């Protein structure tokens, strides 16, 4: 599945209606962004069940400011409508794959408890907390060091 550009008008709808959404904030003048773009596109092709979205920070300055983006590229990950990961800076393909693995295996009930987020907050869970849908080759959580 190709990457999906987001705007200020589509951001909330996309994040709240999909189990897992990755969002890459980028700009055309950013060298690290252009290096990350093919890695991100390959990930989108390998994981069609995950929305791989992009935000052009030059075209969407209000959305960029609302998200608190101050460094490019920045990758955000949402699960069940909740922000579960944020990282400014370039990521290799292996690092991006690790992020996806961790987001898939995240126990959302525990995540909500730890952060004081009321149950039922965010998008409806497509399944119980724990493993999200997708290929099972990611192994058990905690096998790799954090």
Residue 75's contacts (CB-CB under 8 Å, 6 or more residues apart) are: 22, 23, 24, 25, 85, 86, 87, 91, 96, 99
Question: How far is residue 38 from each of residues 22, 48, 117, 122, 141, measured CA to CA in Å?
Answer: 15, 15, 35, 30, 27
Instruction: Please indicate whether residue 33 is annotated as part of the active site.
Output: yes
Contact 85, 99 (CB under 8 A): yes
Instruction: Please indicate whether residue 28 is annotated as part of the active site.
Output: no
Which residue out of 6, 15, 22, 30 is catalytically annotated? 30
Which residue out of 6, 33, 100, 106 is catalytically annotated? 33
- Identify the CA nearest to 108 among candidates 87, 84, 141: 84
Which residues are known to be catalytic? Answer: 30, 33
């Amino acid at each position: 599945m190709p990457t999906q550009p987001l705007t200020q008008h589509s951001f909330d709808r996309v994040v709240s209606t999909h189990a897992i959404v990755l969002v890459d904030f980028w700009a055309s003048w950013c060298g690290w962004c252009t290096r990350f773009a093919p890695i991100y596109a390959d990930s989108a092709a390998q994981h069609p069940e995950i929305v791989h979205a992009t935000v052009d920070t030059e075209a969407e300055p209000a959305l960029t400011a609302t998200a608190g983006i101050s460094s490019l590229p920045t990758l955000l990950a949402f699960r069940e409508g909740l922000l579960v990961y944020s990282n400014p800076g370039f990521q290799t393909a292996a690092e991006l794959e690790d992020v996806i693995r961790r987001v898939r295996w995240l126990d959302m009930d525990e995540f909500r408890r730890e952060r004081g987020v009321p149950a039922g907050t965010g998008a409806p869970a497509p399944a119980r907390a724990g493993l999200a849908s997708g290929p099972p080759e990611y192994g058990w959580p905690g096998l790799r060091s954090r």
